[in-house]
Structure 1
Amino acid sequence: MASKLDKDILSAARSGDFTLIFSSVPSPEILSELGYLTGRYNNLTALERLFTLGLTTPPESENNPIFHGALESESIPIFQALLNNGFNLNNHWSESLGDGLVVAAMRGNIPLARFLLENGQDPNNGSSSGDREAIIWAMVGDFPSLEFIKLMLRYGFKTQGTGAAIAAAELGNLEALKLFVEADRDLDLEEKIIWHAVGD
């Protein structure tokens, strides 16, 4: 059963009214939990207020709750708030979700992918989810997207050594394979990089 504090934190994250939580200087743990929840519930005003109250993000992290909240919401304004407060998109990773580009590929969120790439996310510095990087999810996930692949290539994705061309060939995705070959005329189609099919 959730404690009263847990209920108060959830209520504060949704409403943006932190008076029940902060009787004095807020603890880093409570700020972090509120940062996660305000991101998850896409409460931009509350998240921005938390930053004025002392919420910070580390220079790099694995499984940071504030980053998780942004990933779960897929909210461009939430990601923008993180960027406005010094967040580097290339230095954070989620063990369960990967990075922002992976989430965008898995969920077919092209506007989020475009925003992340426009704001410095390196398409070649990806983190994976379930052993699949974003480019693979764009072919084997629930929302296959040539538009996503084109976007990644436009922002400098390098196919060589990723297994993406092999995945496209094995899946019979000739359109994706053509995009990879056109982007890199020296692409070695004999590369032996392992990619993981759905269910692997």
Structure 2
Amino acid sequence: DGSGDADEKLCGDVNLAPKSKLRTKRGDKAARGSRWSWRAEVATLYNCVGGLEKLRQERPSTGFFGNGDVIGATKLLSEEFPDRAFRIRPFAARAKPKGPQSGVHKSFILVSEADGEPKQTEQWQALCAAFSAPKALLIFHLTNHYAILYALREQLLPNGNRVREVLTARKGQRPTVWMSWEEVRKVLLKWSGYKLLLVEGMA
């Protein structure tokens, strides 16, 4: 209806604002006893508005938010529509999230530069199993982009080399690029924020 209520709910519940904007140098305890830091609140509001505007462009940019916001938005949608509930968990990265709330998948793929061929084969098989599971979807956080894994393929060439590839997108969301598993691993190894996220239907 153009009232902006949906935008306000998204900013408030999913917390799209950068965490650095929500912290104080004195810590949370000091912040509770201090005066209202209206400058930080206004900056947070403008960050939300600016980020949402980028998402509405003809060529939208997801640079405003990160994995935590994608996971938060997924949980929000699942709570909003319980008859179509689903969950999202980290599935592959160079570092495994820790703690009881990390929510990693039991077949989490921990990639390392030291992984040999047997280990990479094991990881590929785990990826194939997750991809083939009912009501499952894999999202790839690659360089400055989020994209779905649309297909996987593996073939043995006449020279004996084995080729493993995923169908995804470097820009936009059309399945246009067959990316080798080796390149996927290299992307994941670049930065701990690059991950494969597994979405699973629960309804």
TM normalised by structure 1 equals 0.22
Higher RCO (CA < 8 A, seq sep 6+): 2
Which structure carries more helix by proportion? 1
TM normalised by structure 2 equals 0.21
Which structure carries more strand by proportion? 2
